[in-house]
Structure 1
C-alpha cells in the first residue's frame, strides 16, 4: 500500500523538478529577455498600427540572445565566487551550452541582417552593438586594471536604458521611415528610456554586493539602495507622464498598469530576493507592457 501511495507524490516531485529545469533554462539562458526585447519592439510598431515583420522580430530576438549569452560566459563572471547565486551556478554548469547558443544566435542574426537589407544602417546599428559588447569587454586600463564600460561609475544603467530604447523605438521608426527627431518618436523614446532605466536600477540592487566586491560603482553602491529605489520610482513617474497624443483615459489606464507593476517590483526589490524575482518578474513586466499596448490597439 505504501508503494502505491508514494507513486503520486513521486510523480508530482518529478513533474516539479522537470518544470523547474525548463523554467531555469528559459530564464537563465536569457530567452525571456530576448522575448521581452522583441515584444517591446512590437509594441512600438503597434503604436503606428503595424505588426512587427517576422524577420525583423527574429533579428531582434536572435541579436538579444547573442549579446546576453556572450556576456554571461565571459571569464570575469566566474571569478565572482563570493556571490554565487542559483542563477550563477546554473550558468557555470551550462557555460558550453550558453556559448553554443550565443554562436547560433549570432549566425541567425547576421543572416537576417543581410537578408533584410539593414546594411545602409551599419553605422547606426554598429554603435549600438559596440556599446553592448564593450559593456562587458575591457576598453581602457585604469590604475593598472582593464575596465569595461559597465565599470565606469554610474554609467551602466544609462547604457542599458539607451540601447534598449534605441533598439525598441528607433529601429521600428527607421523601418517605417519615421525621422528619429520627430516629436512623437522622441516622446516614445523618452517613455521607453525611463521605463528601462527604472528596471536597470532594480538589477543594480540585485547586484549590490557583487558590484561592491568587484569595484563597480553603481547608484545603490554609492548612494544606497533606498536612494536608488527613489530614483527608479522617479524614472517611472517621468515615463508615465510622457503620454502620446490621442490616448483615451481608458487606454491610458491600461498603459499605466505595467508602470504600476514595475513600481511594486522596485519597491520590494532586495538583493536577498530569489533569482526568479528578477529573472521572471523584472524581465516579465516588459512583456506585460507589450500586452497592455496590444490590448489598447
Structure 2
C-alpha cells in the first residue's frame, strides 16, 4: 500500500496528471472540430506540459538547493529531462506556424517562473509573472486556452475564424473556473498581496462568479454555426461536474481534492465525448 501511495504521489507531484488534463482538452478540441487524432501535437502538448509545470514548480528549489535536493526531487528532475527530450522529438514533427505559437507560450512560461520584473509592481523579491497581484489565474487560463485550442487547430491548418475564437474563449472561462477550488485551497498559504479572487471577494462570491462563468461557458456554445448534440450534452455534464466540485470546495479541503479530482475533470469531458 505504501508503494502504491508513493507511485500515486509521484504521479501528482511530477505533473503527469495535469499534463493528461491538458492533453485531454487538446483532444477535445480535435473531436469538436472533426479532426483526426493528431499524435504529434497531442504528444508534444503532453510532454511540454510536464516540462513546463515542473520547471515552474521546482525552478526555485533546483536553483537554490541543488546539492541538498531529496531523492524524490532528483527523480522528478530526471523524469522532467526525459519529458523534455520527448517534447523536442515531437516538436520536430509540428508545422512551422505551430512552433512560432509554441515559442510565444514558452516565453510566457519562462517569465512566469524567472525573476525579471521591478520590485515596485510586486509584493516580494520573486519578480516574476506568477507573483504579480491578481494576474496568476488569468495567465494560466490564457496559456491553457492557447495550447489546447489554438495550437491543435493551427497544426491542422484550421483557419482562426469566429468559431475558433468562441471555442478559445469558452476554454479560457472553463479553466478559470477550474482554478477557483485551487485558489480557495490556497487561502491558507497565499500572501494577501497576491490579490487572488477569493482574497478579493471572498469564498461565497467566488463560487457565485464561478456559477455565472459556467453558465456563460455553456451558453457560448449556441453562438457556434453548427450545434452538435453529443458535444453539447458532454459539455453540459462536464459543466455540472465542475459546478459540484466548485460548490463543495473549501479552504480545508483534502490534499487530492483539487490536485487530483478537480484537475481530472478535463479527462471526464474527453471520456464523455469518446463514449458519445
Specify which of 17, 21, 40 is matched with residue 25 of structure 2.
Answer: 40
1:106 paired residue number: 84
CA contact (8 A) 1:211 1:221 kept: no
1:80-229 to 2 correspondences below 5 Å: 94-114=72-92, 116-143=93-120, 145-180=125-160, 182-212=161-191, 215-229=193-207
Residue in structure 2 matched with residue 232 of structure 1 by the alignment: 210
- The Cα offsets for residues 1-55 of structure 1, whole Å up to 9 and x where unpaired, read as xxxxxxxxxxxxxxx3332222212122111111111111111111122232222
Q: Which has the larger radius of gyration?
A: 1
- In 2, Cα distance between the equivalents of 1:26 and 1:209? 24
Compared CA separation, residues 248 and 77, structure 1 to 2 (3 A):
same
TM, length-normalised to structure 2:
0.88
Q: CA deviation at 1:77?
A: 10
Q: Secondary structure at the match of 1:138?
A: coil
> What SS does the corresponding residue of 1:271 show, helix, strand or coil?
coil
SS at match of 2:214: helix
| TM-score normalised to structure 1 length | 0.82
Aligned to 1:62: 47
Following superposition, the deviation at residue 136 of structure 1 comes to: 2.3
Report the equivalent of 1:85.
Answer: none
- Structure 1 gaps, min length 5: 1-15, 80-90
User: Post-superposition shift, 1:169?
Assistant: 0.6
Q: Distance in 2 between matches of 1:209 and 1:125?
A: 34
* 2:185 and 2:251 in contact (8 A); partners too: yes
Partners of 1:259 and 1:295 lie apart in 2 by: 17
CA distance in 2 between counterparts of 1:77 and 1:225 reads 34
Distance in 1 (CA, whole Å) between partners of 2:73 and 2:244 is: 33
What residue in structure 1 maps to residue 275 of structure 2? 295
Q: SS at 2:217's partner residue? A: helix
SS of residue in 2 equivalent to 1:139: coil
Equivalent-residue separation in structure 2 for 1:150 and 1:32 (angstroms): 21
Distance 2:178 2:110 in 1: 20
Show structure 1 runs of 4+ deviating over 4 A.
Answer: 76-79, 248-251
Deviates more, 1:137-146 or 1:159-168: 137-146
Q: How many residues align?
A: 267
